[in-house]
């Protein structure tokens, strides 16, 4: 038998871990959880000074498996494996990297699928709505648990970047650098509209049962599938989709029926089907709400500059020109608020064709900038 | 002074004059900041701190490597991100001739900065004049581009710049004219290959 072969720069075989917290966590919406667990992974080694920890926050559909593969599943490569690993832009030879599944998730952290201690049944529809602030609060407990007083950096793309931003506001003393990639200071009406269609697809699925579908042994698969298909449209640019699929026909000729004609239809159906087998609909609903609710300027009458005054971290803000979900103009709002506060900030606007998903791609300018930025972080 | 500093000064003859006018601990904005070496130099030698604006991908990457704050924006629209009087000094080093809307940029830099430092190749330099007389576009030490690959869109002389300042009500506080890195005092518009100005609003 051959030893497992890893791509160069892979962190190799990794093992998910769990941290349990037995003190209650109070959530922004008013609810609290008496105890909770977080699934997480780490790569690299925490140095003696504990000054080299980097938290990587996930976006909508990912979790704590950021890099490497599992011993029993070599196909399951971490979602940001091109970014994180030995010699990669976030170099695990130098940094101790933490990936965590957020509260309300469906990959091992306490969420709607977990048992509600009050009833002994899965939380289901009763699991509270969680926010970016709640996630960051839970992440801070994990940092305490791991003995990390201050992160060298917190990093994320899209919704993950909102957490990187929120860290600078919730715990300004506990973060030195914030890498905010393909993000926005708040969702637009159009962004919320897309999320609402996704939620409606799920909640109107006959198998949804008010979120209590586990006990009935069913899953609102149709709704989840539609939600994912819709999401995928917003992750790609028009040009990238045309480039990738064009009007190519699946079987070479029009079918004159309602089966798959075009490759793009096949792609969306495949992505939707795949997603609906591994992702929990209740988690999806909550994550889209966390996106909708994120708005650090709200408590400052919409003044983002006033909101960012609390931040002390240095920022690297990156946007992608073809991202129409969170367009560069949204990132420039963040930059402007930081400039108003005379914060340390660099801003890159990468002319990449892939749309919102560009933050997961291997654009050389993007990767090199992140690599150079981490290279200049003192340990 | 390190070898790297000496190499930088040789490559950027306007840098010594600029550094001399930037007060210690001042807040600066460098428009068209290139690889960020001027910002880095001013940080190391003046503790002057600020941001660079740059559009070119390779230059922006170099700025991140050089650990200076860089904002990848078009400098002709990017200045709207800054509040009035945000900076002690706005630097436009060898960039003015490549800017499209010259009058607007002059008023913008004196809106966001208390002072402006502007350096540019002097197209009144005698070498250039002779080249034009000989039927060629000027190419000399500080001005190495050929007509077909130049980013420069507005070619102007020391006299032209001073006329513009007068028209816009910009006060010229100091001026240094260089010929291949050495100061020129007589017949500057003829003998100087590069000019550096320190300006403020009146």
Q: Residue B193's pLDDT is what?
A: 92
Q: pLDDT tens for residues B86-121?
A: 999 999 998 999 999 999 999 999 999 999 999 999
For residue A222, give the H/E element and its range. helix A221-235
Q: Rounded to an integer, what distance in angstroms lies between the CA atom of residue B8 and that of residue A379?
A: 29
Give B55's contacts (C-beta < 8 A, 6+ positions apart).
B72, B73, B74, B75
Residues of chain B neighbouring A344 (CB-CB closer than 8 A): 69
Closest CA in chain A for residue B65 = A372
Phi, psi of A341 (to 5 degrees): -95, 10
Question: Distance (Å) from the C-alpha of residue B72 to the closest C-alpha of chain A?
Answer: 5
User: Is any Cβ of chain B less than 8 angstroms from the Cβ of A339?
Assistant: yes
Nearest chain A residue to B68 by CA distance is: A346
List the single residue in B27, B65, B72 with the smallest CB-CB distance to A347.
B72
pLDDT at B21: 95
Query: Tens-of-pLDDT digits for all 202 residues of chain B?
Result: 788 788 877 778 888 889 999 999 999 999 999 999 999 999 999 999 999 999 999 999 999 999 999 999 998 887 888 889 999 999 999 899 999 999 999 999 999 999 999 999 999 999 999 999 999 998 887 677 899 999 899 999 999 999 999 999 999 999 999 998 899 999 999 999 999 999 999 7
Chain-chain contact of A376 with B61 (C-beta, under 8 angstroms): no
Per-residue pLDDT of chain A (379 residues; tens, 9 = 90+): 444 555 678 999 999 999 999 999 999 999 999 999 999 999 999 999 999 999 999 999 899 999 999 999 999 999 999 999 999 999 999 999 999 999 999 999 999 999 999 999 999 999 999 999 999 999 999 999 999 999 999 999 999 999 999 999 999 999 999 999 999 999 999 999 999 999 999 999 999 999 999 999 999 999 999 999 999 999 999 999 999 999 999 999 999 999 999 999 999 999 999 999 999 999 999 999 999 999 999 999 999 999 999 999 999 999 999 999 999 999 999 999 999 999 999 999 999 999 999 999 999 999 999 999 999 999 9
- Whole-number CA gyration radius for chain A: 21
Q: Do B51 and A339 touch (CB under 8 A)?
A: yes
Kindly list the residues from chain B whose CB atom is less than 8 angstroms away from the CB atom of residue A373. Answer: 64
* Alpha-carbon separation of residue B156 from A277, B121, B133, B153, B193 (angstroms): 67, 8, 17, 10, 12
Q: Which residues of B touch A350 (CB under 8 A)?
A: 57
Q: 39-58 in B: which are within 8 Å (CB) of A?
A: 51, 57
For every residue of A320-379, DSSP letters joined together read ETT-SSS-HHHHHHHHHHHHHTT--EEEEEE--SSGGGGGGS--HHHHHHHHHHHHT---
> Considering the entire predicted model, what is its pTM?
0.95
Task: State whether A335 and B81 contact (CB < 8 Å).
Answer: yes
Q: Decide the pairing of beta strands B194-201 and B170-179.
A: antiparallel
Considering only CB atoms, B64 lies closest to which of A336, A346, A351, namely A346
Contacts of B83 in chain A (CB under 8 A): 340
């Amino acid at each position: 038998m051959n030893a497992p072969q890893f791509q160069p720069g892979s962190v190799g075989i990794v093992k998910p871990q769990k941290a349990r917290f037995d003190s209650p966590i109070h959530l922004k919406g008013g609810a609290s959880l008496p105890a909770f667990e977080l699934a997480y992974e780490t790569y690299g080694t925490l140095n003696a000074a504990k000054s080299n920890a980097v938290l990587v926050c996930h976006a909508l559909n990912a979790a704590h498996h950021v890099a490497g593969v599992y011993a029993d599943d070599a196909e399951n490569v971490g979602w940001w494996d091109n970014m994180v690993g030995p010699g990669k832009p976030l170099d695990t030879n130098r940094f101790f990297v933490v990936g965590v599944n957020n509260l309300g998730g469906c990959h091992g952290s306490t969420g709607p699928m977990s048992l509600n201690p009050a009833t002994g049944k899965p939380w289901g529809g009763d699991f509270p709505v969680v926010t970016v602030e709640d996630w960051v609060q839970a992440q801070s407990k994990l940092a305490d648990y791991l003995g990390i007083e201050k992160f060298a950096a917190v990093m994320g793309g899209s919704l993950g970047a909102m957490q990187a931003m929120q860290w600078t506001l919730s715990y300004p003393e506990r973060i030195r650098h914030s890498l905010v990639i393909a993000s926005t200071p708040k969702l637009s009406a159009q962004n919320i509209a897309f999320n609402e269609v996704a939620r409606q697809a799920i909640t109107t699925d006959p198998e949804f049962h008010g979120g209590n579908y586990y006990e009935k042994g069913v899953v609102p698969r149709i709704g989840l599938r539609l939600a994912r298909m819709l999401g995928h449209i917003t992750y790609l640019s028009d040009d990238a989709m045309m480039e990738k699929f064009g009007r190519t026909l699946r079987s070479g000729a029009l079918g004159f029926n309602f089966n798959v004609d075009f490759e793009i239809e096949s792609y969306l159906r495949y992505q939707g089907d795949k997603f609906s087998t591994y992702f929990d609909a209740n988690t999806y609903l909550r994550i889209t709400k966390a996106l909708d609710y994120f708005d650090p300027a709200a408590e400052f009458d919409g003044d983002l500059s006033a909101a960012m005054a609390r931040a002390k971290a240095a920022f690297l803000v990156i946007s992608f020109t073809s991202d129409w979900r969170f367009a560069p103009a949204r990132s420039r709002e963040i930059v402007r608020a930081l400039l108003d506060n005379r914060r340390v900030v660099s801003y890159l606007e990468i002319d990449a064709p892939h749309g919102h998903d560009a933050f997961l791609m291997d654009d050389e300018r993007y990767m090199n900038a992140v690599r150079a930025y981490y290279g200049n972080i003192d340990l | 002074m390190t070898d790297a500093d000496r190499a930088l000064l040789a490559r950027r003859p306007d840098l010594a004059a600029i550094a001399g006018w930037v007060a210690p601990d001042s807040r600066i904005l460098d428009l068209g900041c290139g690889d960020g070496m001027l910002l880095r130099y001013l940080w190391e030698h003046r503790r002057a701190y600020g941001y660079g604006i740059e559009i070119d991908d390779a230059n922006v990457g170099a700025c991140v490597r050089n650990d200076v704050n860089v904002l990848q924006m078009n400098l002709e629209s990017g200045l709207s991100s800054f509040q009035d009087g945000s900076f002690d000094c706005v630097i436009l080093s060898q960039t003015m001739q490549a800017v499209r809307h010259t009058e607007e940029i002059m008023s913008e830099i004196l809106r966001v900065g208390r002072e402006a430092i502007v350096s540019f190749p002097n197209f009144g330099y005698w070498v250039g004049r002779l080249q034009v007389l000989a039927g060629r576009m000027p190419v000399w030490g500080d001005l190495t581009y050929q007509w077909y690959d130049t980013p420069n869109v507005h070619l102007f002389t020391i006299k032209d710049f001073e006329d513009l300042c007068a028209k816009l009500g910009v006060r010229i506080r100091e001026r240094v004219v260089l010929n291949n890195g050495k100061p020129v005092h007589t017949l500057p518009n003829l003998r100087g290959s590069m000019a550096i100005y320190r300006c403020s609003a009146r």
